[in-house]
């Protein structure tokens, strides 16, 4: 069967629609807000060789480069002829799957006429996997919780009850986690059904021709974009802010070699693996390193295996970006979320129009709360609050939008309903966006309080709050680009005292946690920003009059710009003159 271009496009879109339908199935049947609202998951569809053909558009970006590797690892353990209809595979092995135990991958073969024609796969970031709760302090994987090796969760449609028994026995909120795993089964079921229906409709019995078209077209498209770039090697080196519980200073070195239509990303020279839970497995490093290239150069072509081919990622074994078992990995996004920014830093002069300034919420904030409610029932809630998006050549950064993880906001009402806390503050931080011709998005300040002893009879809740740890004057600020200034604000306070982030802590009735998440970096010279835009920012409360004067040299009187004063200030040659009012 020879496919014509129109059929290819229709089928290609159909495959994406199928995985997005699977994602909806997951959202509608999952138990926990981190799946339903926060969308920390992915659904993907593969051909019979394990090539990824479609990836849900509702997802976190980090999974894009991971899922092909996971599927490959499944097929290494269970070759294609070892499957029967009704088989389901499962694992959360950090090295074979998505880099930390708390992500569970579930996949199944799709059968047509008793032949495997493809696979459906779904990864979810779960609430808990036992072990030490949500902390950077874990010294090895064994401390971090239950590892599920690659196993058949179902064999010929029959559940392996032992796996559910182990999960039930070893995690804090098993009913929720098992509920979410069942939702993953549903997602894969929808994906399989969708694929079978589509192939029926088009009278196809196998995917290989379509698969080859999709993958090749995507690959060719990205190669074309890379070819337009000048050949050369571009490097960047950053020292990460101190990681609580980690004695070593972590340095990431990258060199990006562009050669014809390929890119080689090399992390040689980066720090060795460490004793705290921030180590990245190679699949994780690959995913977040190839993603920014695709994003910058070829964002409109859908994501599939083809987009990964032109980009090679290498990292020395035993380094913090390619760690060996049994290193601890829970908070590996403390490093991997930074790869796009580090990559953009290396390539900013090569593709100045495609890079983003730093994002204030990178690495992503994560809040875990575990306790018992009045009925003695255990609750566990994950929240995530975002910093300001980085500005770019055409746009201001969005306020409180996350990057690169692409997750959504969990409404505070949802968390208040799930956990024994109440919010006292969630608001933009004025002047937090990095000034620039385009301004970085605003960061936010969040504050919550632990409910009274009547509502938590145990007298405490367990809590971990992770923030980026980046500060404006630290080793790795939220970078502004081309004269744009760095994003501002950041920190974590317990009852108004600054405290370490990312560690386990017991909180008691009345305790108040407050944290600030930085604004995004600005792009280009802030003195070139149109005073009208600065005025608009002032009127919205994004920028103070003092900030307008100091950062943008725009003089605001009342609700208007003092144009004469602004003009004279901006033409003033004496750049370093003190301009405090």
**Contact string 108-137 vs another protein (x = CB under 8 A):** ----------------------xxxx----
Collect all residues with Cβ–Cβ distance below 8 Å to 62 and sequence separation of at least 6.
98, 284, 287, 288, 291, 333, 336, 337, 404, 405
Other C-beta atoms within 10 Å of 325: how many?
12
Per-residue binding letters, 485-504, with another protein (x by CB under 8 A): -------------------x
Tell me the two tokens of residue 46: 């593969």
Q: How far is the CB of 291 from another protein (least distance, A)?
A: 29
- Exposed/middle/buried for residue 253 (C-beta within 10 Å: 0-12, 13-18, 19+): middle
CA-based nearest residue to 513, from 380, 332, 364, 385: 385
Output the smallest distance, CB 318 to another protein, in A.
9
505-507 and 444-450 strand pairing: unpaired
Considering only residues 297-336, where is the footprint of another protein by CB under 8 A? 326
Containing H/E element for 36?
helix 33-36
Place of tokens 């750049």: 575
Nearer to another protein, 21 or 143 (CB): 143
Out of 17, 163, 186, 229, point to the residue binding another protein (CB under 8 A). 163
Bridge partners, residue 492, by sequence: 515
Residue from 21, 143, 206, 562 that binds another protein (CB under 8 A)?
Answer: 143
Q: Which two tokens stand for residue 192?
A: 């399989």
Residue closer to another protein by CB (options 217, 370) is 370
Report DSSP state, residue 566. Answer: H
**Smallest gap from residue 326 Cβ to another protein (A):** 8
**Nearest-angstrom CA–CA distance, 232 and 215:** 27
Q: Give the binding range for another protein (CB under 8 A) out of 27-35, 146-154, 289-297, 518-526.
A: 146-154
- The smaller minimum CB distance to another protein, of residues 165 and 175, is found at 165
Considering only 146, 229, 309, 350, the residue that binds another protein (CB under 8 A) is 146
Return the residues of window 432-471 that contact another protein according to CB under 8 A.
none
Q: What's the rounded Cα separation, in Å, for the pair 35 and 90?
A: 18
Which lies closer to another protein via its Cβ, residue 247 or residue 564?
A: 247
Q: Interface with another protein includes 160 (CB under 8 A)?
A: yes
For helices 5-29 and 208-227, the axis angle rounded to 10 degrees is: 100
Task: State the nearest-atom distance from the C-beta of 379 to another protein, in Å.
Answer: 15
Choice from 1, 80, 169, 453 touching another protein (CB under 8 A): 169
Which of 166, 395, 482, 493 forms a contact with another protein (CB under 8 A)?
A: 166
Per-position x/- string for 39-78, each x denoting binding to another protein as judged by CB under 8 A, each - no binding: ----------------------------------------
Q: Least CB distance from residue 460 to another protein, whole Å?
A: 9
Q: Which residue has the tokens 């070195």?
A: 253
Q: Which two tokens stand for residue 450?
A: 């632990």
Closest to another protein by CB, 138 vs 383, is: 138
Our CB check for another protein shows the closer of 147 and 451 to be 147
* Closer to another protein by Cβ: residue 224 or 324: 324
Q: Which residue has the tokens 């960047």?
A: 236
Closest CA to 64 of 406, 414, 477, 326: 406
262-266 and 311-314: which strand pairing? parallel
Size of the site for another protein (CB under 8 A): 26
- Are the CB atoms for 137 and 161 separated by under 8 Å? no
464: Cα separation from own chain's centroid: 18
Q: What is the full DSSP assignment across 337-355? A: TTHHHHHHHHHTTTSTTT-
Residue 280's SS3 state is coil
- What is the DSSP secondary structure assignment for residue 331, as one 8-state letter? T
The maximal CA–CA distance of the chain, rounded, in angstroms, is 79
Nearest CB to another protein, comparing residues 133 and 311: 133
The closest of 230, 235, 305 to 270, measured between CA atoms, is 235
Q: How far is the CB of 152 from another protein (least distance, A)?
A: 9
**342 HSE (CA, 13 A, CB side):** 28
Exactly one of 80, 82, 157, 168 binds another protein (CB under 8 A); that residue is 168
Residues 172-191 that bind another protein (CB under 8 A): 172
Q: Determine which residue in the list 115, 149, 157, 197 makes contact with another protein, applying CB under 8 A.
A: 149
Minimum CB separation of residue 147 from another protein in Å reads 4
* 92 vs 486 by CB, closer to another protein: 92
- Cβ 40 to another protein, closest distance in Å? 21
Q: How far is CA 517 from CA 217, 424, 465, 525, in A?
A: 40, 16, 12, 23
Six token digits for residue 243: 């990681």
Residue list 74-93, contact with another protein (CB under 8 A): 93
CB of 119 to another protein, least distance (A): 21
Residue numbers 216-275 binding another protein by CB under 8 A: none
Q: Which residues bind another protein (CB under 8 A)?
A: 93, 130-133, 139, 142-143, 145-149, 151, 160, 162-163, 165-166, 168-172, 326, 504
């Amino acid at each position: 069967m020879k496919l014509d271009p129109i059929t290819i496009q229709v089928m290609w879109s159909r495959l994406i629609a199928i995985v997005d339908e699977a994602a909806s199935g997951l959202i509608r049947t999952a138990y926990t807000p981190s799946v339903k609202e926060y969308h920390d998951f992915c659904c993907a569809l593969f051909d019979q060789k394990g090539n990824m053909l479609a990836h849900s558009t509702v997802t976190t970006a980090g999974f894009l480069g991971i899922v092909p590797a996971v599927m490959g690892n499944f097929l290494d353990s269970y070759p294609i002829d070892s499957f029967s209809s009704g088989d389901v595979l499962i694992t959360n092995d950090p090295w074979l799957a998505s880099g930390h135990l708390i992500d569970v991958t579930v996949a199944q073969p799709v059968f047509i006429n008793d032949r495997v024609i493809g696979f459906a796969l779904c990864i979810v970031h779960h609430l808990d996997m036992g072990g030490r709760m949500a902390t950077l302090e874990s010294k090895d994987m064994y401390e971090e919780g239950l590892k599920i090796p690659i196993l058949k969760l179902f064999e010929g449609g029959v559940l392996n009850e032992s796996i559910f028994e182990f999960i039930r026995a070893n995690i804090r909120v098993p009913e929720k986690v098992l509920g979410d795993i069942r939702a993953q089964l549903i997602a894969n079921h929808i994906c399989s059904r969708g694929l079978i229906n589509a192939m029926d409709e088009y009278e196809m019995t196998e995917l290989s021709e379509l698969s080859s078209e999709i993958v090749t077209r995507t690959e060719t498209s990205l190669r074309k974009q890379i070819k337009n770039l000048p050949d050369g090697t571009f490097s960047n080196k950053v020292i990460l802010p101190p990681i609580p519980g980690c004695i070593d200073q972590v340095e990431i070195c990258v060199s990006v070699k562009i050669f014809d239509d390929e890119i080689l990303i090399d992390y040689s020279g980066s720090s060795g693996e460490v004793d705290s839970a921030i180590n990245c497995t190679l699949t994780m490093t690959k995913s977040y390193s190839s993603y920014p290239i695709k994003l910058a150069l070829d964002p409109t072509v859908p994501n599939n295996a083809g987009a990964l081919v032109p980009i090679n990622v290498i990292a020395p074994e035993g380094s913090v970006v390619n760690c060996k078992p049994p290193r601890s990995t829970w908070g590996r996004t403390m490093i991997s979320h930074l790869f796009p920014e580090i990559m953009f830093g290396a390539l900013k002069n090569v593709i100045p129009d495609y890079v983003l300034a730093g994002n204030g919420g990178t690495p992503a904030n994560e809040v875990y709360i575990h306790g018992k409610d009045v009925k003695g029932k255990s609750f566990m809630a994950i929240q995530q609050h975002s910093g300001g998006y980085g500005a770019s050549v055409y746009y201001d950064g969005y306020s409180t939008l996350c990057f690169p993880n692409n997750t959504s906001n969990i409404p505070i009402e949802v968390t208040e309903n799930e956990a024994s806390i109440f919010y006292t503050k969630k608001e933009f931080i004025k002047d937090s966006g990095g000034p620039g011709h385009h301004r970085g998005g605003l960061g936010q300040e969040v504050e919550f309080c632990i409910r009274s002893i009547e509502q938590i009879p145990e007298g405490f809740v367990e809590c971990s709050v992770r923030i980026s740890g980046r500060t404006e004057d630290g080793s790795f600020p939220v970078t502004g680009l081309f004269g744009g200034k760095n994003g501002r604000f950041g920190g974590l306070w317990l009852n108004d005292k600054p405290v370490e982030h990312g560690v386990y802590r017991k909180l008691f009735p009345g305790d108040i946690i407050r944290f600030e998440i930085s604004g995004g970096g600005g792009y280009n010279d802030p003195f070139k920003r149109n005073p009208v835009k600065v005025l608009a920012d002032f009127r919205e409360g994004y920028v103070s009059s003092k900030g307008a004067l100091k950062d943008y040299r725009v003089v605001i009187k009342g609700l208007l710009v003092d144009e004469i004063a602004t003009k004279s200030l901006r033409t003033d040659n004496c750049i370093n003159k003190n301009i405090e009012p």
